[in-house]
Amino acid sequence: MKIARPLLAALLLSACAAPNGKQDVSASEAAQSAADAAASQTSEAAPEAVDATAWTKGAMVAAANPEAVEAGLEMLRKGGTAVDAAIAVHAALGLVEPESSGIGGGGFMVYYDHASDEITVFDGRERAPAAATPEYFMKDGEVMDYISSWQSGRSVGVPGAVALYKSAHDAAGKLDWDELFQPAIKLAEDGFVVERKLAATLASDRLQQYVRLDDLPESSAYFYPDGVPLAEGAIKTNPAYAETLKRVATEGPAAFYSGEIAESIAYAVSHDPSLPGAMTVEDLANYEVAVRPALCGVEPDGYKVCSAPPPSSGGVTQNMILGLYDRLKPTSEEDATEEGFLKAFVDAQRLTYADRDHYVADADFVPVPAAELIDPTYLDVRATEVFAPDEHATPGDPGIALGRGPMRQMWGEDPTDHRPGTTHFSIIDPYGNAVSMTMTVESAFGNSVMVHGFVLNNQLTDFSREPTKGGKPVANAVAGNKRPRSSMSPTLVFDPDGDLFMVTGSPGGNSIVAYVAKTLVGVLEWGKSAQESIDLPNIIARGDVVGVEVDREGGPEAAEALREMGYNVEERQGENSGLHVIIVREDGLEGGADPRRDGVARALE
């Protein structure tokens, strides 16, 4: 029997919701705008060469900055696809949100082509230099500490963003390549408004305590003019970034991966005053995007959830959490307490994180049992291995994936943290194509080094700095040309009829897994709207500690309920999610943007 799926009344901010997101919800302003846009779509937005009549829901862009959203909408107005819009959005974000992403980093794009009904993952994850070894973060026989590793040339991976742009554009772009960069170039030349998040990050005493941003000549002059951090509301130009984008627009990716820009990147990495890295111009010239099939699972109610496969954690973790939640939730009216649903969500996360930390890495280098981990038969067994809240030693124990029992003995545990210097955006275009794209420079402002107007990533700290644990090799250890494991989870959801239903994703380091799962459970299980699911307090259950965001409505009540159930609760403030969600409803598109950042969700009008 179907039952309502509430969490805590205060946490959900409403009464019990109907299952599977089928509850009638009033559309947000963005959703209403989308419906209006769908009704008034013109041939200007959909060229005659493309039959857009099969898609009547409209178009929308949801991203972490209004200027970046407008850049994407501009591409859609010109007849571009979701891929065209995504490139314009990210090029702009690299300017207005440099603490989170940019062309000096990389990430993952999950693309849905409406006409062919196909899903493709473009893996633009950074790679380690060819000369990197498992001992890359070892010094004098000891594992380097995180700060020393982060603020060094040793942390920089070969950037994948520009190559990802080109690979995706070749496959699914419509507009001319150079057109995609014009909004960001104009912003860089004319100036952009410094938003709240960038200003607050630069002014943070904690940031300045750990990073070199205000010490290195180029980054200090840019972010701390006259020794003072950029202030909210200031107008800032970046002529160096404009010139870089002009060259990429004119010459293509070769302008980035060879010649002056590539030489500058390699020199900055290999001559870093803190600790040089091994990157060469050959590493940049040899970078390749990996085009992969999405990793999809079908939930019991018929919804298909698709995300990026390893080295991303998305496909594994989002399907595991949903599948385990379905098996752990209360199944009868008399057992259906609010605490029971909350406990199921927490336990599903703990089991999933344990498996993810043990098994997920770059599958081009090590065997990863991704399909086995989301297999229903495995989930049936794994759901019986719930950890008692007071058994603090057991939450890190992985399950034995089907047919891969020896793998548990093969690998050592890898609890590596992934830091929250990341952004996510969701796009649906007038043709029904969709992009879920998560991009990153790893920690805030990457490794602090700035070249040609953009910051370099510190992505290699997503590898395990310790190559062995308990005498066993770690699956996510460093290797030449290997991609580090990622928490990024750009996700698409399809309804039981196979139609696009939801686009979601978030930044947030290793907490991305929990942030994105919150929106999936919130919408599919608790019947929430896009914005309501985003606004729920974040709850992260990795290991024996359950982090609860208590400065959001419902957070204190959730923390107290979990504490009473025996969980080791850590009350948190300032959670760094940046969820951007689009849901396809009967009357159009419904969007939501995370109030924890500066984003918006806007429909094409």
| 107-164 pLDDT, tens digit each | 999 999 999 999 999 999 999 999 999 999 998 889 999 999 999 999 999 999 999 9
Q: What is the dihedral of CA 210, 216, 221, 223, to 10 degrees?
A: -30
In the chain, the percentage of residues whose pLDDT exceeds 70 is 87
Reported confidence tier of residue 576, pLDDT bands at 50, 70, 90: confident
339-344, long-range: CB < 8 A, 24+ apart? 339/8, 339/561, 339/565, 341/5, 341/6, 341/7, 341/526, 342/7, 342/8, 342/11, 342/539, 342/558, 342/561, 342/562, 343/562, 343/565
Does position 181 have pLDDT exceeding 70, yes or no? yes
Alpha carbon distance 320, 378 (integer Å): 10
In the chain, the percentage of residues whose pLDDT exceeds 90 is 79
Does position 211 have pLDDT exceeding 60, yes or no? yes
- Residue 335: the pLDDT is 74
- Residue 27: the pLDDT is 33
- Residue 40: the pLDDT is 36
Does position 221 have pLDDT exceeding 90, yes or no? yes
Does position 418 have pLDDT exceeding 70, yes or no? no
Residues in the chain: 605
Establish whether 120 is a catalytic residue: no
Among residues 81, 280, 317, 422, which one is catalytic? Answer: 422
pLDDT digits (tens, 9 = 90+) for 455-493: 999 999 999 999 888 888 888 999 999 999 999 999 999
Does position 291 have pLDDT exceeding 50, yes or no? yes
- Residue 389: the pLDDT is 65
Does position 543 have pLDDT exceeding 70, yes or no? yes
In DSSP notation, 507-553 reads: --GGGHHHHHHHHHIIIIIT---HHHHHHSPPEEEETTEEEEETTST
Tell me the pLDDT of the chain averaged across its residues.
Answer: 88
Q: Give the 3-state secondary structure percentages of the chain, helix then strand then coil, rounded to 5.
A: 40, 20, 45
- Residue 333: the pLDDT is 78
Does position 415 have pLDDT exceeding 60, yes or no? no
- Residue 412: the pLDDT is 53
- Residue 370: the pLDDT is 95
pLDDT digits (tens, 9 = 90+) for 433-458: 999 999 999 999 999 999 999 999 99
* The token pair that represents 110 in the structure block: 């999950």
- Reduce the DSSP state of residue 556 to 3 states and report it: helix
In DSSP notation, 119-177 reads: EEEEEE--B--TT--TTTTEETTEEPPHHHHHSSGGGPPBP-HHHHHHHHHHHH--S-G
- Residue 234: the pLDDT is 97
* The token pair that represents 566 in the structure block: 């025996």
- Residue 386: the pLDDT is 85
- Residue 206: the pLDDT is 85
Q: What domains, with CATH codes, occur in the chain?
A: 9-43+57-191+237-292+422-603 (3.60.20.40)
pLDDT digits (tens, 9 = 90+) for 5-57: 344 444 544 323 333 333 333 333 333 333 343 333 333 333 334 454 589 99
Does position 431 have pLDDT exceeding 80, yes or no? yes
Range in 323-327, 400-404, 534-538 with the lowest mean pLDDT? 400-404
pLDDT digits (tens, 9 = 90+) for 334-378: 777 889 999 999 999 999 999 999 899 999 999 999 999 999 999
